[in-house]
Structure 1
């Protein structure tokens, strides 16, 4: 897995940035959905005030919590699927 960004966590919210050869986004926010629905995302992903994706709370086989993200924007040829994993600094992997 390649690391394409980093985030900091506070109160179940995340702030950070991602950068790759084709994507560069600063001031990203991942915020909890106020009233999640069954099977729906637990978080929304924003770049500034624009929603660019969603995230689902998941657990790995060894029980570690992470977010599974889908980023989609008209400038992308296809959606980007990634995971936000906990570490000393949260890592955004693709």
Structure 2
């Protein structure tokens, strides 16, 4: 009987070791949960960036205001009748 109880206790200890420290144990699970959190956060940022890009694409497709704004900022568009002023800072 003592031998049977000893074997059961050893088996229980072995199972507990595998649960806490073994491959795919609680330590690995905790590390995977942290990794999943990081991936979810990264996906959220990428999803937000994609939404902004889709919004900008829709503006460029549907309206001329976004195209005009881009042309003014990136290409220096000046309409007829407008006066363009460039302010140059004084050099020391």
- TM class by smaller structure: under 0.3
Q: Which has the higher strand share?
A: 1
Give the structure with the larger helix fraction: 2
Give the TM-score normalised by structure 1: 0.15
Higher Cα Rg, which structure: 2
